[in-house]
Every structure is written in structure tokens, then in C-alpha cells.
């Protein structure tokens, strides 16, 4: 009998964020922590080797340039990498940046074997929801099955832990 192993993997950015000011823990990191706690799953953070600037405007310029050029910045994974390698179910989180996931998420997706794995995308946003990211993830994660995702406003994830937990619990119960 096989056991379905799960892991929560996310990309997030602290510093100055849209709608919430300057934060120590990014919006998506807060949502990822709530999912990991509710699912009893280990957590892995995707970090960009060259950190984005702390300022919102500077990050915006750099990240938009990455999107325009379809860049794949170098990344490092932090956390329980062994659990990630064994997991067949991945909860994958990211902020929505101009209708898509940040480019470090695609570096992560394109650098792994996804055969036999299921991805549940989740994001923080300020109005766009998941947009077309589930389809983009399916294209980048060859062999993965991509399921229904969860979209939570970044302001909610950052400022309302009860509403965030409720959204996570409802999503996981589906």
C-alpha cells in the first residue's frame, strides 16, 4: 500500500508589498504556512538566488523585465527537500504578478520530474484570482495533474488569519 505524501512549496516576497506596506513575512508565505498547518505537510520555500529589491517599485521593474524576457532566474529551495522529493501531492503557492506567477516558480517547475504527481496551485492576489496560472503550471510541469486552486487576497492573508484559515479549510475539504 502506498501512502500519499504531501508537501507545500511556495515563493513569496517580504519587504514593501502592494496593499499591506512593508512586511517581514510575505503574503504568500502566510498562506503557505496556513496550508501546511492544516494539511500537516512539510514546507519548502523557493528563493531567488539574487533577492528582489526591498522596494515595491524596484521589484516591479525587475520582475516585469523577467516576464517580458521569459527569464528563468536561479533559485534555491529551503526547507524539507527530502519530503518534497517523496511527495506525490504538491500544494504550490505564489503571488500573482501581472496575471502570472513570478518567474522563479517556472524555474522550479521546469527543473523537476512531475510524472505521477498532482499539483494544487494557490496564490495571493489583489483582484486577479488565479488567472491563467493553472494552465501555465500544467504546461511547465510536464506529467503533473493540476487540480483546482485557491486564490486569497494578499491583504487577507497578511491581515486576517481567521479568514485565511477558513478559506484554506474550505479548499482542503473539497
* Residue 122 lies inside a defined structural domain of this protein: yes
Structural domain boundaries, residue 107: 6-172
Largest Cα separation within the chain, whole Å, is: 51
| Residue at 90 is within a domain | yes
Residue pLDDT tens, the chain, 174 long:
345 799 999 999 999 998 999 999 999 999 999 999 999 999 999 999 999 999 999 999 999 999 999 999 999 999 999 999 999 999 999 999 999 999 999 999 998 999 999 999 999 999 999 999 999 999 999 999 999 999 999 999 999 999 999 999 999 998
Question: How many separate domains does the chain show?
Answer: 1
CATH number, domain of 61, equals 3.40.50.360
What is the per-residue DSSP string for 119-143?
A: EEEEEEESS-TTTTHHHHHHHHSTT
H helices present in 77-160, as ranges = 81-86, 103-110, 133-140, 154-159
Q: What is the pTM of this model?
A: 0.96
> In this structure, is residue 58 part of a structural domain?
yes
Q: Is residue 1 in a domain? A: no
In angstroms, how far is CA 153 from the centroid of its own chain? 13
Q: At what angle do helices 103-110 and 56-69 cross, to 10 degrees?
A: 50
Task: Note whether residue 52 is domain-resident.
Answer: yes
Amino acid at each position: 500500500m502506498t501512502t500519499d505524501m504531501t508537501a507545500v512549496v511556495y515563493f513569496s516576497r517580504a519587504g514593501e508589498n502592494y496593499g499591506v506596506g512593508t512586511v517581514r513575512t510575505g503574503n504568500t508565505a502566510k498562506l503557505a504556512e496556513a496550508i501546511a498547518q492544516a494539511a500537516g505537510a512539510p514546507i519548502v520555500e523557493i528563493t531567488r538566488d539574487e533577492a528582489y529589491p526591498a522596494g515595491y517599485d524596484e521589484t516591479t521593474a525587475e520582475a516585469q523585465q523577467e516576464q517580458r524576457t521569459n527569464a528563468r532566474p536561479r533559485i534555491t529551495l529551503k526547507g524539507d527537500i527530502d519530503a518534497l522529493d517523496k511527495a506525490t501531492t504538491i500544494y504550490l503557492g505564489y503571488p500573482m504578478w501581472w496575471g502570472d506567477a513570478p518567474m522563479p516558480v517556472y524555474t522550479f517547475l521546469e527543473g523537476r520530474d512531475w510524472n505521477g504527481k498532482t499539483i494544487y496551485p494557490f496564490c495571493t492576489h489583489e483582484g486577479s484570482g488565479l488567472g491563467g496560472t493553472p494552465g501555465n503550471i500544467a504546461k511547465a510541469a510536464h506529467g503533473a495533474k493540476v487540480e483546482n486552486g485557491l486564490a486569497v487576497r494578499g491583504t487577507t492573508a497578511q491581515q486576517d488569519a481567521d479568514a485565511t484559515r477558513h478559506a484554506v479549510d474550505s479548499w482542503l475539504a473539497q
